Copies of this chain bind each other. A is one copy, B any other.
């Protein structure tokens, strides 16, 4: 029995987590255990990591090993079906609100690329240019331009064009997709979306009517050019846990209109440089590492702005060691340093005071610089023609091979 959380998040006393706001009580850290309990999803434990390794015959992604993706809904059903020889498809997305992505934005795409490669399954990527036009003060044209720019960064993550369909809502909504939107909308009252998303009467009706747009890529019939006659295909959605409200709603509606509930695999939030209580913000470029940052930018930001758990003086540091619980360089290495043994070594030495903050930062700068440089090179190779090719409404003949 799944818990469906319907309390207006605006009225909660402690932490607020919804697609537009993530904040903890008194500016503290997000309590993820509490979030799992409140949302009614499940913790993704080691048995899942082992099972994915066994089923795909490849090492589990670092985000899976390290608990970056830490929660799920019905991921077991997806794996059960896969074990029986039934494939699924992946659905993820991005709201194109800014020109340059930061590392936090890349996380779902890096992980989704791994899932696509490991399970050999098709993928649909929704660019919610309509949402950003409605929520932010962006014109239709600017939202569409950002969608294409963001598509280039997404393609640069290495997706297989023979298995991947990227679409902009403004371009693709209509036809089969729109019919599913209407079916979903019929099953959701205004009171219900107020409960799930916290809208008020002063919010414009575009906000009220958007949730079905994000719901329906969960249903294969929304993509007749891909999944015609495969209405029974299951869908797995990798996303950050702040998107859970959309899919609580979707899972509630799905059986009522004859579809499978989509499964979810959900990640932690990527912390701001200033620490887990800070928020990465487009208006504060020093709060995040952007994929457009130069090596010099990265070095400066990490050295100057990364919040650390190191002690004030070298003497104290040698004596007490670093507080790893709050240390941003360690948290970032946890996301991006592939080598488990090296990470373990750094945590041990740094925590015991044998390794200094400067040394950890130096290693982090190397790791981040390599990721960003690699992304920059890949992104530079993405042409407008490639964007058109990924976004063409077309069949994907060998998408399950």
Residues of B within 8 A of A171 (CB): 175
> In the bound complex, do residue B174 and residue A186 qualify as a contact, i.e. CB atoms below 8 Å apart?
no
Q: Is A165 an interface residue (CB 8 A)?
A: no
> In the bound complex, do residue A203 and residue B178 qualify as a contact, i.e. CB atoms below 8 Å apart?
no
> In the bound complex, do residue A185 and residue B134 qualify as a contact, i.e. CB atoms below 8 Å apart?
yes
Stretch at the interface among A208-216, A369-377, A383-391: A208-216
Give Cα A173–Cα B178 distance, bound, in whole angstroms. 8
A140-B179, A174-B175 known; A208-B190 Cβ under 8 A:
yes
Give Cα A145–Cα B140 distance, bound, in whole angstroms. 33
Residues of B within 8 A of A189 (CB): 201-205
Give Cα A193–Cα B140 distance, bound, in whole angstroms. 23
Q: Is A259 an interface residue (CB 8 A)?
A: no
Q: Is A153 an interface residue (CB 8 A)?
A: no
Q: Is A172 an interface residue (CB 8 A)?
A: yes
> In the bound complex, do residue A187 and residue B204 qualify as a contact, i.e. CB atoms below 8 Å apart?
yes
Smallest Cβ distance from A136 to chain B, in angstroms? 11
Those of A182-223 within 8 Å (CB) of chain B: 182-183, 185-194, 199-206, 208-209, 211-212
> In the bound complex, do residue B190 and residue A203 qualify as a contact, i.e. CB atoms below 8 Å apart?
yes
A140-B179, A199-B190 known; A185-B205 Cβ under 8 A:
yes
Cβ 8 A contact of A205, one of B130, B169, B174, B188: B188
Q: Is the interface on chain A under 10, 10 to 19, 20 to 34, or 35 or more residues?
A: 35 or more
Q: Is A133 an interface residue (CB 8 A)?
A: yes
> In the bound complex, do residue A182 and residue B212 qualify as a contact, i.e. CB atoms below 8 Å apart?
no
Chain B residue with minimal CB distance to A212? B205
Smallest Cβ distance from A181 to chain B, in angstroms? 8
A172-B174, A178-B174 known; A201-B205 Cβ under 8 A:
no
Chain B residue with minimal CB distance to A131? B182
Residues of B within 8 A of A170 (CB): 175, 178-179, 182
> In the bound complex, do residue A204 and residue B185 qualify as a contact, i.e. CB atoms below 8 Å apart?
yes
Give Cα A31–Cα B173 distance, bound, in whole angstroms. 43
A interface, CB within 8 angstroms of B: 130, 133-134, 140, 169-175, 178-179, 182-183, 185-194, 199-206, 208-209, 211-212
The 4 closest A-B pairs by CB, nearest first: A174-B174, A209-B209, A185-B206, A191-B201
Task: Name 17 A/B residue pairs within 8 A (Cβ), A-sorted.
Answer: A130-B182, A133-B182, A133-B186, A134-B182, A140-B182, A170-B179, A172-B174, A173-B174, A185-B209, A186-B206, A188-B204, A189-B205, A190-B203, A190-B208, A191-B202, A193-B205, A209-B209
